[in-house]
Amino acid sequence: MVKITVLDRILLSLSILLAAYQIVFGIEGSNQLGIASYTIAFGVLLIAALLLIILGFQVLDSPAVIIISTIIPLSLSLGLISEFFPKYAPGYIIFAVAGFLVVMVSRYFAPKKTATIILIVVHGISGLLIFGLPIYLSVIGTTNKGFALVGIGGGLFGIGGMLLSFLITGRPILPRERILSILPVLMLLTIAAFVAGFALA
Amino acid sequence: MKRTFQTRFKNKIKLLWSLIKSPQTLLLLMTGLAGFMSSRCPWFNFPILLGVAGSLFLAISGSTVLNMWYDRDIDSLMKRTCWRPLPSGKISPNETLVFGITLSVLGVGWALAIDLLFGFIVFAGLFFDVVVYTIWLKRRTAWSVVWGGLAGAMPVLAGRALGTGRIEWVGILLALAVLSWIPTHILTFSIRNQEDYKRAGVPTFPSTYSVPTTLRVISASTVIAAIAMIMAAVGIDITAGQMRLLAVLSSGLIFLAAASMLRPSDKVNFGLFKYASLYMLSAMLLLAAVVF
């Protein structure tokens, strides 16, 4: 069993502070749907970091982790769509809600292969949006260049998500210890990139 | 000679400090300061702020020391507490009693000198904790926990009453939040140390109503604490950003309470206890931050 170290706790605490800062100050100025979506995304990240500190890495063994972790990319991408492409927001809300429900239901009632395909589709679409949209918006000049950091955060989040998914499905591409040792660093870098990206937008 | 005196003095201070259960005392002190600052009164008046902090610290510490003094016989029977300075014989009962009374008198006296209502509520907290909870009910009924909770709720109510000049509904909601949070603390320990309490003959919720019932009580009281805190925050009119953070933290608390009820385990239950303590500290910091 991999125990959580003091360094892990420090990194996770910093992640919590950054996520809390983003919820309180960092998303002011967005529209209501954007604020709600970003709050949910950073809120889940904050609580996840808090639970890792309190309960240790064993919390990742829970089957609920896959379902709850789906909320982060879905709500973050919904926030981006509602802020920069508001006319697509109603359609994307339907995708986000339906995607989350389908992931949840398939985890318990669908064959394993089907559940994995659904997870890849939902995570893939929302993850690509978080990664691609901020970079695209900053390149075409809709936002400042710094907003591309949100895309980089999305990329880091994707890497973390993949490592975690492989770990939970029992097919880790790296040893469990290695994945767990880099997870707090990855989490901090992801949130830091998000926070910096939104601040520089 | 001088060195020996210094060492003895340092050791004595260390022993006396361990009698006041500093994390718990400082957390309750924080609730009192948050209650005061949440009223948006001109809080940065150094003598008053020092008075609020000092009187509450002394009174809370005093009641904790008196509690330890009275419970020294049962503390010596329990594994969790037998190492404490009093049951382990590192400090004498008389010395502890004098220390506890001195702190209590100084704390309540200082509080009364600042404001009568504030002082009265601080005294009520001390009375509920030492007389009603510790001396009268703790060894008779599992429901003593309610009075322990009520005692713990007094600092925040006192701070708020000092800031606003009266007891109003926001202060009562803040007190309800702390009152509902305290069973999470006491009942979690009573589950983890069931054998200890049994040996000491102290009735607890797990021994009287079973562990599953106790877990349900913990979860329910945690949810009540979160709801009361959110309602108080609405009454205090904290900023939208602070409210979002409080909502997130409260959701985590409710999620963990539900997990503890649906899939009870020692780990999740203890996780809920730790989360609830962090929640209370964070919520109080958020409420105190309205003055900035």
Domain count, chain A: 1
Which two structure tokens, joined as six digits, stand for A187? 């989490």
CA distance A36 to chain B (A): 9
| Residue B68 amino acid letter | M
Q: Is the pLDDT of residue B183 over 80?
A: yes
- A54 at B interface, C-beta within 8 A: yes
Over residues B48-58, mean pLDDT: 95
Helix (H) or strand (E) holding A79: helix A64-84
- Max CA separation in chain A (angstroms): 48
> C-alpha dihedral over A166, A169, A171, A173, to 10 degrees?
10
Determine whether the interchain pair B241/A43 forms a contact, defined as Cβ–Cβ distance below 8 Å.
no
Using the predicted structure, report yes or no on whether residue A130 has a pLDDT greater than 80: yes
Does A141 fall in a domain?
Answer: yes
pLDDT of B2 reads 63
Subunit contact B271:A51, Cβ cutoff 8 A: yes
Residue A73 forms part of a structural domain: yes
- Give a yes or no: residue A145 inside a domain: yes
- Distance (Å) from the alpha carbon of B289 to chain A's nearest alpha carbon: 12
A58 has a chain B CB within 8 A of its CB = yes
Closest to A151 measured CA to CA, from A78, A69, A80:
A80
Helix (H/G/I), strand (E/B), else coil: A85: coil
pLDDT of residue B3: 66
Write down the mean pLDDT value for chain B.
92
Would you list the DSSP string of A90-147? HHHHHHHHHHHHHHHHHHHHS-HHHHHHHHHHHHHHHHHHHHHHHHHHHHTTSS-GGG
When CB atoms are compared, the residue of A28, A46, A54 closest to B248 is: A46
Average pLDDT over residues B66-82: 92
pLDDT at B43 over 70: no
Q: How far apart are CA B138 and CA A172, in angstroms?
A: 52
Question: With 90 as the cut, is the pLDDT of residue A64 above it?
Answer: no
Concatenated DSSP letters of chain B: -HHHHHHHHHHHHHHHHHHT-HHHHHHHHHHHHHHHHTTTS----HHHHHHHHHHHHHHHHHHHHHHHHHTHHHHTT-TTTTTSTTTTTSS-HHHHHHHHHHHHHHHHHHHHHH-HHHHHHHHHHHHIIIIIIIIIITTT-TTHHHHHHHHHHHHHHHHHHHHHSS--HHHHHHHHHHHHHHHHHHHHHHHHTHHHHHHHT---HHHHH-HHHHHHHHHHHHHHHHHHHHHHHHHHT--HHHHHHHHHHHHHHHHHHHHHHHS--HHHHHHHHHHHHHHHHHHHHHHHGGG-
* Contacts of range B203-208, beta carbons closer than 8 Å, 24 or more positions apart: B203/B139, B203/B140, B203/B141, B203/B142, B204/B142, B205/B142, B205/B145, B207/B142, B208/B142
Compute the residue count for chain B.
292
**3-state SS, one letter per residue, for B50-97:** HHHHHHHHHHHHHHHHHHHHHCHHHHCCCCCCCCCCCCCCCCCHHHHH
Establish if A1 belongs to a structural domain.
no
Q: Do B255 and A47 touch (CB under 8 A)?
A: yes
As a whole number, mean pLDDT of residues B29-35 equals: 95
Q: What's the confidence (pLDDT) of residue B1?
A: 58
With contacts defined as CB-CB under 8 Å, which chain A residues touch B248? 23, 39, 42-43, 46-47
What ipTM describes this predicted complex? 0.93
- A24 to chain B: which residues are within 8 Å by CB? 239, 241-242, 244-245
d(CA A83, CA A19): 19
- Cα B290 from chain centre: 23
Q: Closest Cα partner for B19 from B88, B79, B78? A: B88
Q: Scanning every residue of chain B, which has its alpha carbon at the shortest distance from the alpha carbon of A24?
A: B241
Q: Report the residue from A23, A42, A54 with minimal CB separation from B274.
A: A54
Q: How confident is the model at residue B163 (pLDDT cuts 50, 70, 90)?
A: very high
CA A45/CA A23 separation, integer angstroms: 11
Q: What angle do CA A85, A86, A89 make, to 5 degrees?
A: 100
Which of A15, A21, A23 best probes binding to B when mutated, by most B CB atoms within 10 angstroms?
A23
Tell me how many degrees the CA angle B160-B161-B162 measures, rounded to the nearest 5.
Answer: 90
Instruction: Name the fold adopted by B13-291.
Output: Tetracycline Repressor; domain 2 (1.10.357)
Show residues of chain B in contact with A35, CB under 8 Å. Answer: 244
B-contacting residues of A 13-32, CB under 8 Å? 20, 23-25, 28
Query: Is the Cβ pair A55, B268 closer than 8 Å?
Result: yes
* Range(s) of the domain holding residue A184: 6-200
A144 pLDDT above the threshold of 70: yes
The two three-digit tokens of residue B118, written as one number: 């504030």
pLDDT confidence tier of residue A179, bands split at 50, 70 and 90: confident
Summarize the confidence of residues B111-124 as an average pLDDT. Answer: 97
Measured between CB atoms, which of A25, A55, A58 is closest to B241?
A25
- Judged by average pLDDT, the poorest of B7-16, B54-63, B106-115 is B7-16
Mean pLDDT of A151-156: 95
Nearest to A23 among B244, B255, B275 (CB): B244
A189 close contact with B: CB closer than 8 A: no
- Domain membership of residue A130 (yes or no) is yes
Residue of B280, B278, B194 whose CA lies nearest to A12: B278
- d(CA B154, CA B141) in angstroms, rounded, equals 22
A24, A54, A58: residue with CB nearest B275: A54
Mean pLDDT of all residues in B195-199: 90
Residue A31 lies in a domain: yes
3-class DSSP state of A1? coil
Domains of chain B: which residue ranges? Answer: 13-291
Cα of A90 vs its chain's centroid, Å: 21
B240 chain-A contacts, CB cut-off 8 A = 28
